[in-house]
Amino acid sequence: MVWLRVLCVSCCVLILPSQILANIGTVVSVKQGAEITRAGNSRPLLEGMEVASGDSISTDSRGVVQLIFVDETKIAIGPNAKMALDVTMLRNKKKAKNFAVQALGGSFRFISGNSRKRAYSIQTPTATMAVRGTIFDMWVVPGTQSSMLVLEGTVQMCGLKGGCRSTGRQCSLFATSQKGKVGRPADQAQYDEAVKNGFPFIQSQERLLSPLRVNIEGCAGESAPVQPIEKSDAPEPRPAPPQRQAVKASVASAPVEAPSIEGGAAPDTKPNRPVN
């Protein structure tokens, strides 16, 4: 029996570290409904649960999730959203060797933590983002368009067909076009419409805990800055061919209307009521 006890203790010693390393962050707040999927199994997401690399989190029209990771990275997930995590922690467990996020649809807030800048990788179905000590909000219309609004630091956004844009200017908004490029809203009206429909945490931070609230002054309304693109910076905007039927079918689950941008027209989708 002694050998059996030794074997059990040895197994616990071998298994325990891998379990500890798998825990990369904690759910600090949940507004139902939200669920977590791990190894193909889904269950309701609860406050206080730990998340692991490989987990995916999704919300319905009521759900809002807030996470704080061991390296102090913070992510808020808005309604009608889905996100997958691929994170590898260093041996000291305080920083990530690799921190990859797949934002598959919906609205998000991302606040980088103590890990190295090059460790972070943010991907959507239509864009990739590289962060440089950054706070920014994202809006992803599945399979159609990705938008980001920078709140602090610098972010580089690249379309799937080449072409990148980088900005460190607060309240700057960039989005992908149907041609896979990246540009700004065409005018102030497009900027305001995008913020209203796709960036709920800019409209209101009441649902967010203090660690995920940031300075958003000037990012909504008439005071929000929209800089026209110089002719050398992007091609003149061209009207998109009528594609209402195809676009509506492809983004039937999209929560709101995507903005058009300089250099490429945006899809014409029917907006739902914005989140307050």
pLDDT greater than 60 at residue 238: no
pLDDT greater than 50 at residue 240: no
pTM attached to this predicted model: 0.75
As a whole number, mean pLDDT of residues 145-174 equals: 92
pLDDT greater than 90 at residue 212: yes
**What gap in Å lies between CA 79 and CA 220, rounded to an integer?**
20
Instruction: State whether CATH 2.102.10.10 applies to domain 65-228+237-250.
Output: no
- What string of DSSP letters covers the chain? -HHHHHHHHHHHHHHHHHHHHHEEEEEEEEESSEEEEETTEEEE--TT-EEETT-EEEE-TT-EEEEEETTS-EEEE-SS-EEEEEEEE-TTSSSEEEEEEEEEEEEEEEE--SS-GGGEEEE-SSEEEEEEEEEEEEEEETTTEEEEEEEEEEEEEEETTS-EEEE-STT-EEEE-TTS-EE-BSSHHHHHHHHHHH-HHHH--TTS-GGG----TTSSSTTS--PPPPTTTSPPP-PPPP-HHHHHHHTTT--SPPPPBTTBPPP-----PPP-
Read off the pLDDT of residues 54-71 as tens digits, 9 standing for 90 and up: 999 999 999 999 999 999
Read off the pLDDT of residues 161-211 as tens digits, 9 standing for 90 and up: 878 999 989 999 999 988 889 999 999 999 999 999 999 999 999 999 999
Q: What is the pLDDT, as a whole number, of residue 92?
A: 74
As a whole number, mean pLDDT of residues 207-223 equals: 87
As a whole number, mean pLDDT of residues 105-118 equals: 95
Read off the pLDDT of residues 72-85 as tens digits, 9 standing for 90 and up: 999 999 999 999 99
Q: Are 204 and 276 in contact (CB under 8 A)?
A: yes
pLDDT greater than 70 at residue 118: yes
Q: Are 145 and 126 in contact (CB under 8 A)?
A: yes
Q: What is the pLDDT, as a whole number, of residue 93?
A: 76
Read off the pLDDT of residues 251-260 as tens digits, 9 standing for 90 and up: 333 334 455 5
Mean pLDDT, all residues of the chain: 79
As a whole number, mean pLDDT of residues 108-137 equals: 93
As a whole number, mean pLDDT of residues 99-125 equals: 95
